[in-house]
Amino acid sequence: MNLFDTLDNKRKNINLSENKKIKIYVCGITPYSESHIGHAMSAVIFDTLRKYLLANKQNVTYVQNFTDIDDKLIKAAKENNSDIKTISTKFINKHLSALSKLNVLKPDYSPKATEEIKEMINMIETLISKDMAYEIDGDCFFRVEKFKTYGKLSKRNFDEMLAGARIEIDERKENPMDFALWKTKTGNEPGWESPWGEGRPGWHIECSAMSMKYLGQNIDIHGGGRDLIFPHHENEIAQSEAFTNNPPFSNIWMHNGLINLKSEKMSKSLGNIITIDHLLNQFSAAAIRMFFISGNYKNPLEYNTDLIASNERAIMRLKNTSQLKSSENVDHLNTSTFVKNFHDAMQSDLNTSMALGTIFELSKAINQANTQNLNIKKAQVDLNNLLEILGININEERINDKKINFDKVDQKWIKSQIELRNKYRKLKNFSDADAVRKELLSKGISLLDSRNGTEWTIQ
């Protein structure tokens, strides 16, 4: 099997010998608000990789963290008159619940940054002792210039990195590119005792320390969204390899594309998110998973409810095929070519789009074979097995309900009502706008407003 490595800018082979140990670390969420479908897509992509490796009898250890101490989390706690543990616990639980509905396997380990402070402090102490980091007034920074291959992942020059990092000016730093390993406590912020006084870890050191604790100094695959390449993953490489003197930190750096909403990246900071639960209220998990893996995982994916709705109908057709009554004829449909093509696609840089195409070809062949009175029992088993590898459960109870609900509504009328409401809002006629919203709500349609427009869902 081969996967594209961002660092070397080429595909690298993974030997799928039976029971081979494969160590995977994927950067997790910062749980300061509800997870959006971009988080879900990343989770589904790496879950699909994991499921495929497990189906091939690989001994996979999968780690995904929670960044439960962060500036955004501290801000959210203050705004809600709460604390970071309460806020993070709430959104971690919601995140895990949503991923479970999407048929995403639980990680083998889900470390929280706040529970691994000791490992982070030990790592920083070692970096300082190696002169790869320094302390000023209780803050610790990594000496970027001393790591000679800094920038090898992102392929950026100094000026591009300086701009991309959105660095706050700090005259105390030896170099503007030096990044924080430890931040001294200010005000009522949470803090932990350290050799440099009370404080908290920087974002980048958290993942390095947690990865090495649970997977060791060298891992097989490090995953995450493309938006993490710089500065987060670049900094992870620098501090980890400086700490161990045992490169590479990861053999493969695997990055998924992001979800776009009307050609703009979906993110919490842009305020254009669609939550996972919002999408699950409208479509089945199977249709959503199919949407997430319908293209090249490295490329951006445009949010498209029409495509997800068509997936819903496609899944119903697959379900119907899997439930056809087979003849008892001794002549069977030969599925070996379909199964081989599926595995060839999956082993060619996780080409899920081609793998899905093969599944639909197999389904078509089963339907044709059934009309020819061939025995299709084994073919139906193969169809279900291939879908299971992709995490697509065509027997999900919610599939029929979602299809019926979606097909029953008058989508043109809903869109016209949304346009009318937007017209009222533009005229600042909020009472009539609210009346339209209530009318839709009375018919079981709820609205979700964002800077990119209004989405609707079936309650």
Give tens-digit pLDDT for 258-310: 999 877 777 766 677 899 999 999 899 999 999 999 999 999 999 999 899 98
The residue to which tokens 């440099």 are assigned: 196
CATH superfamily of 2-265: HUPs (3.40.50.620)
| Angular region, 415: left φ>0, alpha ψ -120 to 50, beta rest | alpha
Assess whether pLDDT exceeds 80 at residue 161: no
- The three-class DSSP label of residue 29 is coil
Give tens-digit pLDDT for 177-192: 999 999 999 999 999 9
Give tens-digit pLDDT for 389-446: 999 999 886 665 555 455 566 778 888 999 999 999 999 999 999 999 888 887 778 7
Q: What backbone phi and psi angles, to 5 degrees, belong to 26?
A: -125, 130
Please report, for the chain, the start and end positions of each structural domain, with discontinuous segments joined by +: 2-265, 305-405, 409-458
Yes or no: domain 305-405 corresponds to CATH 1.20.120.640:
yes
As a whole number, mean pLDDT of residues 197-207 equals 97
Cα 291 to its chain centre, rounded Å, is 14
pLDDT at 404: 45
C-alpha torsion sign, points 35, 259, 316, 337? negative
Contact (CB, 8 A) for 35 and 275 = yes
Listed in sequence order, the residues at least 6 apart from 120 whose beta carbon sits closer than 8 Å to its beta carbon are 113, 182, 201, 205, 206, 209
Give tens-digit pLDDT for 362-371: 999 999 999 8
Give tens-digit pLDDT for 307-342: 999 899 899 999 999 999 999 999 999 999 999 999
Percent share of the chain, pLDDT over 70: 93
In one-letter notation, the amino acid at residue 393 is: N
- Tell me how many degrees the CA angle 148-64-86 measures, rounded to the nearest 5: 115
**Please, what is the end-to-end C-alpha distance for the chain in angstroms?**
43
In one-letter notation, the amino acid at residue 253 is: W
DSSP 66: B
DSSP 229: I
b/e burial code for range 30-60 (CB count within 10 A of at least 16 → b): bbbbbbbbbbbbbbbbbbbbbbbbeebebeb
Give tens-digit pLDDT for 76-119: 999 999 999 999 999 999 999 999 999 999 999 999 999 999 99
pLDDT at 202: 96
Higher pLDDT, 163 or 202: 202
Q: What is the mean pLDDT of the chain?
A: 92
pLDDT at 410: 79
The residue to which tokens 């619940």 are assigned: 97
Listed in sequence order, the residues at least 6 apart from 307 whose beta carbon sits closer than 8 Å to its beta carbon are 291, 294
Instruction: Provide the token pair at 9.
Output: 């800018």
pLDDT at 18: 87
